[in-house]
């Protein structure tokens, strides 16, 4: 790669990460002060504006666009459990905005990160302790079911952690189990964000992130393990079709 071009990418990425930090800090502080006492569906609208600003900054500073295949279910449908590929930070920002109202299941340590963690708490994120899988599953089941009963969607990354572009993690059945127990459909989501924004890299490449949103899957009478495998196969097949 041309050294000057590589330097340009580094500078553009550095500007974006500065913008990212400023947007998160401003949105978290102002959101808590202005909307902290309001109901989630009102408070959350303010916070996802910050997500939208992050995606816009990514496009302007790094040349990263988004192509969406499929459609997000209309807001008047019953809540669903979204099971998405996890490659980088991008999908958290995009899906919280696109699937709103939505509660996201994250690792508990993120809730302690200044500003970023405050925003997650304001967005009713469910923090789980991954060192204790049984307790994490019980907590996710309880809080996730409550979230769905209150009319919010639930976003889970079934691989549990970020997986490099082109690789596959183990798809846990917890999210599928919650959907079955709550009698809610599952929405599979595939994307290739890690191709441009590597999970462990600081240089973001320009290009187009493709997001494929599947059809809602009915969970009545389904088996959690089989459903998780079905969703995993669908997601990986769609990822393999992407650039």
**Model pTM?**
0.94
pLDDT at residue 133 in the model: 75
How much is the pLDDT for 87? 96
| pLDDT value for 139 | 83
Rg (CA), the chain: 18
User: What is the C-alpha separation between 232 and 230, in angstroms, rounded?
Assistant: 5
* Local confidence pLDDT in tens for the 243 residues of the chain: 688 999 999 999 999 999 999 999 999 999 999 999 999 999 999 999 999 999 999 999 999 999 999 999 987 789 999 999 999 999 999 999 999 999 999 999 999 999 999 999 999 999 988 777 777 788 888 999 999 999 999 999 999 889 999 999 999 999 999 999 999 999 999 999 999 999 888 899 999 999 999 999 999 999 999 999 999 999 999 999 997
User: What is the pLDDT, as a whole number, of residue 222?
Assistant: 95
């Amino acid at each position: 790669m041309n050294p000057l071009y590589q330097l340009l990418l580094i500078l553009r990425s550095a500007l974006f990460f500065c913008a990212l930090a400023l947007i998160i800090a401003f949105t978290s502080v102002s959101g808590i002060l202005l909307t902290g006492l309001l109901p989630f569906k009102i408070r959350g609208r303010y916070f996802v504006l910050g997500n939208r600003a992050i995606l816009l900054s990514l496009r302007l500073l790094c040349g990263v666009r988004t192509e969406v295949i499929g459609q997000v279910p209309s807001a008047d449908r019953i809540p669903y459990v979204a099971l998405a590929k996890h490659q980088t930070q991008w999908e958290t920002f995009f899906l919280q905005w696109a699937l709103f109202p939505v509660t996201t299941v994250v690792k508990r340590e993120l809730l302690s990160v200044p500003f970023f963690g405050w925003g997650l708490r304001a967005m009713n994120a469910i923090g789980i302790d991954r060192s204790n899988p049984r307790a994490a599953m019980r907590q996710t089941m309880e809080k996730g079911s409550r979230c769905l009963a209150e009319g919010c969607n639930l976003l889970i990354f079934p691989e549990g952690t970020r997986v490099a572009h082109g690789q596959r993690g183990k798809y846990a059945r917890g999210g599928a189990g919650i959907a079955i127990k709550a009698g809610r459909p599952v929405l599979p989501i595939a994307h290739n964000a890690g191709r441009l924004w590597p999970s462990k890299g600081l240089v973001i490449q320009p290009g187009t992130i493709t997001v494929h949103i599947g059809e809602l899957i009915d969970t009545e009478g389904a088996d959690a393990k089989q459903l998780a495998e079905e969703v995993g196969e669908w997601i990986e097949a769609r990822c393999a079709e992407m650039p």
